[in-house]
């Protein structure tokens, strides 16, 4: 295992410099410092690892190739070996063993193609009955049911309303909440309706079905938005949870324990046919997740918010008392697998047409003249119109709902694998990455191994699409990012918010802007070869050397940004600092700083340097060379070079 060196504290600003006279400083500005430049050789670009990371596909039969086998009533697809849905959820067999591993609960089918006929199981659906299966991991099973007991004992009124709506209303209609400021525009364009709008106690006390159209109107009947809706509707192909419910034959939580409190408003919704009403997996969750993934593909401006809404609906099933955490987790897994299979089943041309139509219609609906304006509008809502404005809360809630904080029961250090075709989910969210790079993003942001039911052989259980939208989790190989601003949206600018580890190197190419915000610890170095790389946290640049050969390194952190090795800037490079009070926005290099090119200074809101003030812009172990040009917004800028620092005197602009 690679152990990164502990970062060194930045060198203190010498006290002697603060006491030096104004005349001396101005003299130094003219002479450049006094180092022996003839003996100094500027470092070249960091070498990195010399290879890119990969994410090979598992050798097991891929769900994306076998999704049509997720069927019931066909003897060819009735076993664990022949049914893709049962296989992808088979981690549950470590917790629970059905009496027969067969899709046979309430199912009969004639023999076909050499496969024997299916005879309906005598499973009663009542825990403890003689026809029941066997609990294999009592601790996990007990926590699974106890979780529902604890949750339903402390339901708030707000949770009760949401759980009721998520149960009775069309699932896709509910998922559109995740569009925030775009929700009304989407529903209007989709011609999407619901008949469940009131949540008054007297209305919630009745069971009634939504007579709306759930996803909306597709095809030629909706020429402005029909392709987009058809794309969402296509996620339902071979996506039913019925085959797996009838394979695993695991009861609903309220049948396991009388201490589970089903919401009073939903008591009439409880099934009276337990033999065909298994809890594992949750159908509501599977549908909401696959539809959320599809909509996130079409509206990447709301990618994470839509995913968050999909999993929120899953948790509503626990709040309602209708499902257990493992039911919901398995619904999420099957929903993701179904979305991956069906997005891939749409041809690239069909995907592109649905995306273009969704973007064009939404832009026109909200008056956005450009895709960038649509992106700005999509993120413009406050809490009164958008429940998902808090990114950090969304991240924490999503991560919690992936595992519901269950204790790992197996090895937690197994490397992640990525399902075949899963990279397509990020195709519109990270269009500037290659398909293989997107696979690596999924691998490096995956959950740790060892959680109950999540270690399926393909890797669906450990996928964290929310984290993947925030870029790499580790550079386990060198990463080159080529962003072309002229293509707009995420090609023009994106932010990686994850904490990036690894021994690889980052190279930024192209004309677009990539912002790094995490507590990064990658050690292979950073090279800016084009466009703009923005450091928005103190440790954004990791622990390696930084080389600005072309383009701009921008510093916007609310703290000094550290370079834990050398800093080199050529004549084609620019260092853009946004300075604030104290050391905010400064650059601190542990080792040598070799300078050339342009230094551009701007100032944070609320910070206005005094005329004639000297501001420190860079500190280093040693300073070599000088910038070719220095400018400061609103000031005349005069650089001063010391042996271990660069200052700039700010005078009134002429």
Query: Angle at CA 185, nearest 5°, toward 181 and 186?
Result: 100
Average pLDDT over residues 26-49: 69
- Whether the pLDDT of residue 362 is over 50: the answer is yes
Per residue in 233-242, is it b (16+ CB within 10 Å) or e — as a string? bbbbebbbbb
Cβ proximity of 350 and 331 under 8 Å: no
> How big is the chain by its Cα radius of gyration, in Å?
29
Q: What pLDDT is attached to residue 21?
A: 40
State the pLDDT confidence band at 205, using cuts at 50, 70 and 90: low
Q: Minimum mean pLDDT among 134-138, 194-198, 328-332, 557-561: which range? A: 194-198
Q: What is the DSSP string of 250-309?
A: ---HHHH-TT----GGGGGGS-S-GGG---SS-HHHHHHHHHHHHHHHH-GGGHHHHHHH
Residues ≥6 apart with Cβ < 8 Å to 584: 557, 558, 559, 560, 604, 607
Answer yes or no: is pLDDT of 323 > 90. yes
* pLDDT at residue 9 greater than cutoff 70: no
Q: What pLDDT score was predicted for residue 162?
A: 95
Q: What angle separates helix 157-168 from helix 283-298, to the nearest 10 degrees?
A: 80
User: Cα-flanking dihedrals φ and ψ of residue 614, to 5°?
Assistant: -95, 125
The string of pLDDT tens digits covering residues 598-620 is 999 999 999 999 999 999 999 99
Task: Pull the structure tokens for residue 643.
Answer: 């042996």
Q: Look at residue 206 in the predicted model and tell me its pLDDT.
A: 66
pLDDT digits (tens, 9 = 90+) for 223-244: 999 999 999 999 999 999 999 9
Q: If you classify domain 63-462 with CATH, what class do you get?
A: mainly alpha
Contact 522, 544 (CB under 8 A): yes
Rounded mean pLDDT, 28-50: 72
Q: Which among 215, 514, 166 is positioned nearest to 316, based on CA atoms?
A: 166
**Percentage of residues of the chain with pLDDT beyond 70:** 93
Is there a contact between 348 and 303 (Cβ–Cβ < 8 Å)? no
Mean predicted confidence (pLDDT) in 40-58: 96
pLDDT above 60 (res 30):
no
The C-alpha atoms of residue 70 and residue 158 are separated, in whole angstroms, by 36
Which strands make up the sheet holding 561-563, listed edge to edge?
493-496, 513-516, 532-535, 551-555, 573-579, 598-603, 629-632, 635-641, 645-652, 613-619, 587-589, 561-563
* Position 95 pLDDT exceeds 90: yes
Phi, then psi, of 601 in degrees rounded to 5: -115, 135
Check residues 210 and 7 and name the one with the higher pLDDT: 210
Give every CB contact of residue 649 below 8 A, 6+ residues apart in sequence: 25, 26, 29, 612, 613, 614, 637, 638, 640
Q: Is the pLDDT of residue 414 over 80?
A: yes
For the chain, which residues make up each domain, given as ranges? 15-49+475-652, 63-462
Q: Which residue has the tokens 């921008």?
A: 554
Whether pLDDT at 86 is above 90: yes
The stretch 476-481 carries a mean pLDDT of 98
586 and 577 in contact (C-beta within 8 Å)?
Answer: yes
Looking at residue 29, its pLDDT comes to: 45
Coil, strand or helix: which one is 474?
strand
Residue 561 has a pLDDT of 98
Dihedral sign for Cα 319, 320, 325, 331, please.
Answer: negative
pLDDT of residue 208: 76
> Taking all residues of the chain, what is their mean pLDDT, rounded to a whole number?
93
Whether residue 169 is predicted with pLDDT greater than 80 in this model: the reply is yes
> Can you give 41-71 as a three-state secondary structure string?
CCCCCCCCCCCCCCCCCCCCCCHHHHHHHCC
DSSP 129-141: STT--EES-HHHH
Lowest mean pLDDT among 200-204, 427-431, 478-482: 200-204
Q: pLDDT at residue 19 above 60?
A: no
* CB contact at 8 A, 517 and 496: yes
Residue 629: beta bridge partners? 598
pLDDT of res. 198:
72
Residue 275 has pLDDT above 50, yes or no: yes
- Measured CA angle at 371 (ends 556, 394), to 5 deg: 60
Confidence (pTM):
0.94
Is 48:505 a contact under the CB 8 Å cutoff?
Answer: yes
CA–CA dist 164, 201 (Å, integer): 11
pLDDT score at 483? 98
Question: Taking 70 as the threshold, does the pLDDT of residue 383 lie above it?
Answer: yes
């Amino acid at each position: 295992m690679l152990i990164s060196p502990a970062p060194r504290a930045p060198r203190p600003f010498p006290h002697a410099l603060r006491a030096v006279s104004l005349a001396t400083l101005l003299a130094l500005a003219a002479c450049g410092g006094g180092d022996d430049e003839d003996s100094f050789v500027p470092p070249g670009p960091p070498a990195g690892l010399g290879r890119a990371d990969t994410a090979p596909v598992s050798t097991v039969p891929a769900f994306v190739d076998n999704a049509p086998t997720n069927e019931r009533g066909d003897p060819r697809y009735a076993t664990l070996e022949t049914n893709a849905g049962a296989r992808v959820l088979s981690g549950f067999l470590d917790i629970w063993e059905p009496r027969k591993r067969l899709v046979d609960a309430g199912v009969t089918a004639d023999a076909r193609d050499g496969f024997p006929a299916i005879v309906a199981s005598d499973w009663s659906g009542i825990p403890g009955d003689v026809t029941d299966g066997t609990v294999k991991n009592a601790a996990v099973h007990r926590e699974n049911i106890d979780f529902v007991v604890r949750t339903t004992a402390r339901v708030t009124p707000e949770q009760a309303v949401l759980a009721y709506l998520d149960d009775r209303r069309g699932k896709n209609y509910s998922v559109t909440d995740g569009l925030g400021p775009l929700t009304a525009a989407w529903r209007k364009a989709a011609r999407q309706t619901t008949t469940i709008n009131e949540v008054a106690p007297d209305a919630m006390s009745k069971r009634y079905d939504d007579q709306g159209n759930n996803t909306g109107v597709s095809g030629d009947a909706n020429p402005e938005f029909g392709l987009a809706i058809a794309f969402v509707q296509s996620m339902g192909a071979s996506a039913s949870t019925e085959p797996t419910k009838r394979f695993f034959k695991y009861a609903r939580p309220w049948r396991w324990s009388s201490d589970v409190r089903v919401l009073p408003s939903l008591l009439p919704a409880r099934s009276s046919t337990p033999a065909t009403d298994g809890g594992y997996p949750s159908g509501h969750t599977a549908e909401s997740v696959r539809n959320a993934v599809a909509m996130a593909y079409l509206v990447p401006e709301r990618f994470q918010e839509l995913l968050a809404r999909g999993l929120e609906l899953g948790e509503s099933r626990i709040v309602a008392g209708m499902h257990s955490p493992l039911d919901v987790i398995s619904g999420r897994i099957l929903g993701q697998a179904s979305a991956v299979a069906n997005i891939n089943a749409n041809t690239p041309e069909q995907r592109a047409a649905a995306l273009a139509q969704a973007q064009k219609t939404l832009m026109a609906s909200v008056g956005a003249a450009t895709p960038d304006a649509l992106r700005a509008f999509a993120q413009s809502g406050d809490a009164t119109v958008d429940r998902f404005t808090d990114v950090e809360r969304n991240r924490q809630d999503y991560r919690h709902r992936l595992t519901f904080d269950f204790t790992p029961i197996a090895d937690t250090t197994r490397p992640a694998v990525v399902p075949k075709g899963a990279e397509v989910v990020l195709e519109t969210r990270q269009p500037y990455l290659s398909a293989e790079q997107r696979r690596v993003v999924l691998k490096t942001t995956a959950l740790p191994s060892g959680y109950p039911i999540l270690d399926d052989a393909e890797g669906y259980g450990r996928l964290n699409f929310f984290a993947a939208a925030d870029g790499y989790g580790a550079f386990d190989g060198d990463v080159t990012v080529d962003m072309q601003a002229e293509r707009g949206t995420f090609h023009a600018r994106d932010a990686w918010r994850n904490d990036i580890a690894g021994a690889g190197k980052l190279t930024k190419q192209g004309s677009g802007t990539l912002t790094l915000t995490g507590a990064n610890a990658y050690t292979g170095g950073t090279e800016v070869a084009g466009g703009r790389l923005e450091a928005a946290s103190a440790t954004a640049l990791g622990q390696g050397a930084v080389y600005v050969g072309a383009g701009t390194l921008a510093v916007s952190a609310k703290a000094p940004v550290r370079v834990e090795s050398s800093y080199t800037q050529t004549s084609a490079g620019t260092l853009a600092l946004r300075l604030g009070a104290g050391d905010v926005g400064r650059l601190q290099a542990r080792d040598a700083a070799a300078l050339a090119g342009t230094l551009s200074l701007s100032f944070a809101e609320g910070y206005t340097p005094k005329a004639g003030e000297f501001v420190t812009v860079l500190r280093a172990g040693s300073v070599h060379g000088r910038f070719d040009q220095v400018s400061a917004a609103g000031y005349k800028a005069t650089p001063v070079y010391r042996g271990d620092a660069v200052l700039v005197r700010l005078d009134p602009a002429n």
